Amino acid sequence: MAFVTTTDKAELEKYQAEVDSKEGYPEDLARHIYVGGGIHAPKELGQAKHYAEIIQHPDKTEYALPQSVKAEVTAKLTAVEALPVDWVKEEVMMEDK
C-alpha cells in the first residue's frame, strides 16, 4: 500500500476514491445485519465510507493512510511535532518499505 503525502486536497480525494473503489467502500449496507430485538440504528450510521482516512499533521500537511496504521502514524506525528517536517515525512514513508 502506497501512502500519499500531499497538501493538494483534490489529489487526495482522487486517491481516496480510487482506493475506496478498489476496496469496495462505501460498505454495502446489505452486509450490515441486525441482531437482537428492540430498536436498531439506521445502517448508514455505522457504515464505513472510506478505506483510508485523511489525517492532518500540525504543519497542515495531509496524509491518506490505511485505517490499520492510522493510530500508529498519528501518534508518531504527534511525538515528533517539534522536529523538521521533512523528517516526519521520511518516517511516514518508511512505513511503506
Partner 1 sequence: MGLMSIVSGKFSPLKIPGCTLWLEADRGITLVDGKVSAWADQSGNGRHAIQGAVDNRPTYATNQLNGYPAMQSAEGKGLQIVDTGIVSLTALTMILVFKANDVTTNQVILGTNTTGVAQILNNTMRVYLDTGIGGDFAYTSTATSILVLVFDGAQVGNENRYKAFLNGEQKALSFTGTVPDTFPTKTDLYIGAYTGLYDYCFTGLIVVPFLSFPSVLTSSRRQQIERHYSSKYAIALA
Q: Which of residues 8 and 23 has its CB atom nearest to partner 1 in the complex?
A: 23
What's the min distance (Å) between Cβ of 47 and partner 1?
A: 6
What's the min distance (Å) between Cβ of 25 and partner 1?
A: 9
What's the min distance (Å) between Cβ of 35 and partner 1?
A: 4
> Which among 36, 61, 33 has a CA at the least distance from the CA of 47?
33
- Which residue in the block uniquely carries the three cell numbers 516526519? 88
Q: Which of residues 8 and 78 has its CB atom nearest to partner 1 in the complex?
A: 78
Q: Which of residues 34 and 97 has its CB atom nearest to partner 1 in the complex?
A: 34
Dihedral of CA 41/53/12/22: which sign? negative
Please state the length of the chain.
97
Give me the sheet containing 62-66, strands edge to edge: 4-6, 62-66, 52-56
Residues near partner 1 (CB under 8 A) are 27, 31-41, 43, 45-49, 53, 67-68, 70-71, 74-75
Beta bridge partners of 32: none
Q: Which of residues 10 and 39 has its CB atom nearest to partner 1 in the complex?
A: 39
